[in-house]
Amino acid sequence: MVGLEGRRGRAKHVSDRGGSQRARAEPPPADFERGAILFDLDGVLVDSTECIRRNWSEWAVRHGLDPTAVIRAAQGRRTIETVRAVAPQLDPDVELAALASDESRETEGVREVPGARELLATLPAGRWAVVTSAVRAAAELRLRHVGLPVPAVLVAADEVSHGKPHPEGYLVAAAALGTPPADCLVVEDAPAGIEAAQSGGMAVIALATSHPAAALAAADALVPSLSCLRVTVRAGRLVINLQRS
């Protein structure tokens, strides 16, 4: 069984009160029902861990910084905010330009997250978006490199004033889709992203792909991978079920 822990620490279970005949005749109850789904990018749809770690490690070494500490600080954050946090003595705009240029050209080690292609194929156009801490050029490059579609709504780090854990990115995406924040479901893999979504009034499914489960405990549900999500469309609504086995 897949552990699916809500905010109160209770595992969600589906009961079969109608017997096997009824279970076959009726669709399973929804774990979530929403008008739209908003995805983080890195660690959710695209695995760019190798690429990101390499770029930050090289940058840290150039500036005499501890690569491990820099990589830890960069998780879920915009590049400019990471630079400000780990190297306040440097000009953040100059460093951002150099780092953004590198990540917008680098694809070595960038891979599709298992289950991403199948999940996105089930979603109607205009009912999902990407909200990322990468700049737009890098986000689009990574999606195209792995052969995933670039959504009509993609909110990137260089298009907002505040990065995660601020909710701005997710709120901008919800507005662009024309969906109230409370009617959006977010899929994240980082504590900063979970905080951003919940601060914007959105429920969150966390993927334990880049952080230990304990660090993601604030999420409304926790699954080990994207392959555990199933989405169907019923009466114009997105019905999201979490695979239990």
pLDDT average, residue stretch 74-95 = 91
- Does 159 share its domain with 92? no
The neighbouring-strand residues paired with 111 are 47
**98 and 117 part of one domain:** no
Range 40-54 average pLDDT: 93
**Chain position carrying tokens 């409370």:** 182
Q: CA 129, 50, 67, 140 torsion: positive or negative?
A: negative
Confidence band (pLDDT; 50, 70, 90) for 31?
very high
**For the segment 197-223, what is each residue's pLDDT rounded down to a tens digit?**
999 999 999 999 888 999 999 999 999
Q: Average the pLDDT over each of 13-27, 69-83, 85-99 and give the range with the smallest value.
A: 13-27
Mean pLDDT over 39-61 rounds to: 93
Q: How far is residue 24's CA from residue 21's CA, in Å, rounded to a whole number?
A: 5
pLDDT score recorded for residue 74: 87
Candidates 220, 224, 202; CA nearest to 212 is 224
The verdict on 116 and 207 lying in the same domain is yes
Q: Total structural domains in the chain? A: 2
**Which domain range does residue 133 map to?**
30-47+110-242
Instruction: Tell whether 206 and 94 lie within a shared domain.
Output: no
Would you say residue 18 lies in a domain?
no
Is 98 in the same domain as 41?
A: no
pLDDT at 11: 33
Using 50, 70 and 90 to split pLDDT, how confident is the model at 85? very high
Structure confidence at residue 77 (pLDDT): 83
CA angle 59, 63, 64 (to 5 degrees): 115
128 and 235 assigned to the same domain: yes
- The rounded distance, in Å, linking the Cα atoms of 199 and 17 is 36
**Predicted model pTM:** 0.83
Instruction: Say whether both 56 and 145 belong to one domain.
Output: no
For residue 119, is pLDDT > 80? yes
| Residue 26, pLDDT score | 56
> Residues 153-182: what's their mean pLDDT?
97
DSSP letter assigned to residue 27 = P
> Which pLDDT band, with edges at 50, 70 and 90, does 234 fall under?
very high
Are 166 and 144 in the same domain? Answer: yes
- The catalytic residue positions are 40, 42
What digits encode the pLDDT tens for the residues 134-164?
999 999 999 999 999 999 999 999 999 999 9
4 pLDDT higher than 50: no
Assess whether 98 and 116 both reside in one domain.
no
| Rounded-to-integer distance, Cα 104 and Cα 100, Å | 6
In CATH, what number is assigned to the domain containing residue 118? 3.40.50.1000
Q: What's the whole-number average pLDDT of the chain?
A: 88
Together in a domain, 181 and 232:
yes
Q: Do 164 and 128 reside in the same domain of the chain?
A: yes
217 in a domain, yes or no?
Answer: yes
pLDDT at 210: 86
The distance of Cα 54 from the centroid of its chain, to the nearest Å, equals 21
The mean pLDDT of 216-231, rounded to a whole number, is 95
- Examine the domain organization and report whether 170 and 83 are in the same domain: no
- Residue 27 has a pLDDT of 56
Does the pLDDT at position 25 exceed 80?
A: no
Report the C-alpha gap between 60 and 56 in whole angstroms.
6
